[in-house]
Amino acid sequence: MAVLGTAAVEVLIPVAALVGIAFALLQWYVVARVPVPSHAGEDGGGGGNKNVREEEEHVEEDGMDYLLVEARCAEIQRAISVGATSFLLTEYKYLAVFTAAFAVVIFVFLGSAQRFSARPGPCAYDPSRECRPALANAAFSAVAFLLGAATSVLSGYLGMRVATFANARTALEARHGVGRAFAAAFRSGAAMGFLLASSALLVLYAAVNLFGLYYGDDWGGLYESITGYGLGGSSVALFGRVGGGIYTKAADVGADLVGKVERNIPEDDPRNPAVIADNVGDNVGDIAGMGSDLFGSYAESSCAALFVASISSFGAEHNLTAMMYPLLISAVGLLVCAITTVVATDVTEVKGSDEVGPALKRQILISTVLMTAGIAAVTFLALPPSFTLFDFGNDKHVKNWHLFICVSAGLWAGLVIGYVTEYFTSNAYGPVQAVARSCRTGAATNVIFGLAVGYKSVIVPIVAIAAAIYASFRLAAMYGIALAALGMLSTIATGLAIDAYGPISDNAGGIAEMAGMPHRVRERTDALDAAGNTTAAIGKGFAIGSAALVSLALFGAYVSRAGITAVDVLSPRVFVGLLLGAMLPYWFSAMTMRSVGSAALRMVEEVRRQFDTIPGLAEGLAVPDYATCVRISTDASLKKMMAPGALVMFSPLVAGTLFGVETLAGLLAGALVSGVQVAISASNSGGAWDNAKKYIEAGLSEEARSLGPKGSEAHKAAVIGDTIGDPLKDTSGPSLNILIKLMAVESLVFAPFFAAHGGIIFDHL
State the maximum Cα–Cα separation within the chain, in Å, rounded to a whole number: 84
Q: Please say whether the beta carbons of 246 and 637 come within 8 A.
A: yes
Residues of the chain with pLDDT > 70: what percent?
Answer: 95
When pLDDT is averaged across residues 510-519 and rounded to a whole number, the result is: 85
For residue 112, the one-letter residue type is S
Above 50 in pLDDT, residue 86? yes
pLDDT tens-digit readout, 428-439:
899 999 999 999
Q: How many CA atoms lie within 13 A of 179 on its CB side?
A: 9
- Under 8 Å CB-to-CB from 212, ≥6 apart: which residues? 222
When pLDDT is averaged across residues 203-212 and rounded to a whole number, the result is: 93
pLDDT tens-digit readout, 138-174:
999 999 999 999 998 988 888 888 888 888 899 889 8
Q: Whose CA is closest to 209, among 23, 377, 6, 2? A: 6
The DSSP-derived string for 369-434 is: HHHHHHHHHHHHHHS-SEEEEEETTEEEEEEHHHHHHHHHHHHHHHHHHHHHHHHHH-TTSHHHHH
390-399, 664-673, 752-761: segment of lowest average pLDDT = 390-399
Above 70 in pLDDT, residue 200? yes
Task: Strands of 581-634 (E only): list them.
Answer: none
pLDDT at res. 42: 42
pLDDT at res. 352: 82
For residue 616, the one-letter residue type is G
* CA geometry: angle 287, 585, 688, nearest 5 deg: 55
Above 90 in pLDDT, residue 398? no
Residue 126 gets the label, from left (phi > 0), alpha (psi -120 to 50) or beta, of: beta
Task: Strands of 100-184 (E only): list them.
Answer: 121-122, 130-131
Q: Is the dihedral of CA 198, 200, 206, 209 positive or negative?
A: negative
Rounded to two decimals, what is the model's pTM?
0.87
Three-class HEC string of 212-225: HHHHCCCHHHHHHH
Q: Whose CA is closest to 265, among 513, 463, 497, 576? A: 513
Above 60 in pLDDT, residue 54? no
When pLDDT is averaged across residues 434-448 and rounded to a whole number, the result is: 95
Domain boundary assignment for the chain: 4-30+63-755
When pLDDT is averaged across residues 752-761 and rounded to a whole number, the result is: 88
pLDDT at res. 277: 87
Q: Torsion over CA of 380, 382, 385 and 391, rounded to 10 degrees? A: -120
- Under 8 Å CB-to-CB from 518, ≥6 apart: which residues? 62, 64, 175
CA distance 573 to 660: 8
CA distance 603 to 253: 8
pLDDT tens-digit readout, 218-249:
888 888 899 999 899 889 888 888 888 888 88
Q: Please say whether the beta carbons of 379 and 339 come within 8 A.
A: no
Q: Counting Cβ atoms within 10 Å, is residue 612 exposed (0-12), middle (13-18) or buried (19+)? A: exposed
Q: Whose CA is closest to 489, among 427, 545, 406, 558? A: 545
When pLDDT is averaged across residues 327-333 and rounded to a whole number, the result is: 94
- Under 8 Å CB-to-CB from 53, ≥6 apart: which residues? none
Q: Please say whether the beta carbons of 284 and 84 come within 8 A.
A: yes
Pairing mode, if any, of strands 394-399 and 121-122? unpaired
Total Cβ atoms within 10 A of residue 708: 17
Q: Whose CA is closest to 737, among 679, 652, 656, 654? A: 679
Residue 2: pLDDT band (50, 70, 90) is low
Q: Please say whether the beta carbons of 357 and 534 come within 8 A.
A: yes
Quickly list H helices, 311-383. Answer: 313-316, 320-323, 325-342, 356-382
CA distance 193 to 344: 14
pLDDT at res. 7: 86
CA distance 428 to 597: 31
Per residue in 6-40, is it b (16+ CB within 10 Å) or e — as a string? eeebeebbbebbebbbebbebbbebbbebbbbeeb
Preceding omega of 35 cis (within 30 degrees of 0):
no
Mapped onto helix, strand or coil, the DSSP state of residue 122 is strand
CA distance 292 to 742: 13
pLDDT at res. 391: 66
Q: Whose CA is closest to 450, among 423, 425, 417? A: 425
pLDDT at res. 203: 93
When pLDDT is averaged across residues 464-480 and rounded to a whole number, the result is: 92
Angle between helices 219-255 and 642-654 (to 10 degrees): 150
| 347 vs 3, residue with greater confidence | 347
pLDDT at res. 61: 45
| Mean confidence (pLDDT) of the chain | 86
